[in-house]
Structure 1
Amino acid sequence: MNQPSTAPTVERIDGKNRYEVLVEGKRAGLTAYRDRGDQRVFYHTEIDDAFAGQGLAAVLVRAALTDVRASGKRIVPVCPYVAKFLRKHEEFTDITDPVTPEVLQWLDTERG
């Protein structure tokens, strides 16, 4: 299996409400969010099949959550992958809020 020659990078794309992970300049996946006050609600994470099995989802989500901390916001892990990541990485527990019915209803409305 070929290893990418450069480390993956993660960018926040504010206009699209998502973070993207790039491998050699190509988008390999994304995690999507909506902001609700001081909360960043993550609701979907995907890695393109061509890039599966390289640990990119973890790279992506770690970078996204680190950015949330730096921006002073809090994490709401509606996305199952983000929730699973947070169970394994307790360094983000202090800025994680629970997923509530209110958040889910709000997210449905936001996403139309």
Structure 2
Amino acid sequence: MTGDLPIELELTGTKGRYLVKGPDGAEAEMTYTSIGESQIIIDHTMVPDAFRGQGIGARLVARAVEDARAAGKTILPLCPFAAAQFQRHPEWADVLKH
């Protein structure tokens, strides 16, 4: 079950990437850029066909929200998928950059 697959975080300087790796080698990812110490910009979400319809993309965005909240950061969702997730989850308003 893909809901059990862990979400990993890779950091490279100001760039970050949350990813889920499937047993077949497929990777779903959400990338972001850190802006200073207080904001991240989600710029891309990609979910391969092997993961479609399983909520993996939503899990990736939710993890970014959890991490941003814990770090006192805000999120600017430039990625259309992430922006749509923020519209579906008004409870994330505390981390949404206006």
Name the SS for the 1:9 alignment partner: coil
Across the aligned residues of Structure 1 and Structure 2, the Cα RMSD in angstroms comes to 2.0
How many angstroms does 1:51 deviate by?
A: 1.5
Residues 30-109 of structure 1 mapped to structure 2, 5 A cutoff: 30-37=29-36, 38-98=38-98
Amino acid at match of 1:22: K
Distance, in Å, in 2 between the alignment partners of 1:5 and 1:93 is 27
**Greater Cα shift, 44-53 or 17-26:** 17-26
Structure 2, gaps ≥5 residues long: none
Distance, in Å, in 2 between the alignment partners of 1:26 and 1:72 is 34
How many angstroms does 1:8 deviate by?
A: 2.1
| Counterpart for residue 7 of structure 2 | 10
Deviations 1:23-50 (A, max 9, x none): 4594531101001121100010011122
* TM-score when normalising by structure 2: 0.84
Higher relative contact order (CA 8 A, sep 6+): 2
| Counterpart for residue 108 of structure 1 | none
Distance, in Å, in 2 between the alignment partners of 1:86 and 1:26 is 29
Identity of aligned residues (%): 35
Amino acid at match of 2:54: Q
- Of the two, which has the highest radius of gyration? 1
Contact 1:22 1:28 survives alignment (8 Å) = yes
* TM-score when normalising by structure 1: 0.74
The count of aligned residue pairs is 95
How many angstroms does 1:5 deviate by?
A: 7.2
Structure 1, gaps ≥5 residues long: 99-112
| Counterpart for residue 19 of structure 2 | 20
Contact 1:68 1:74 survives alignment (8 Å) = yes
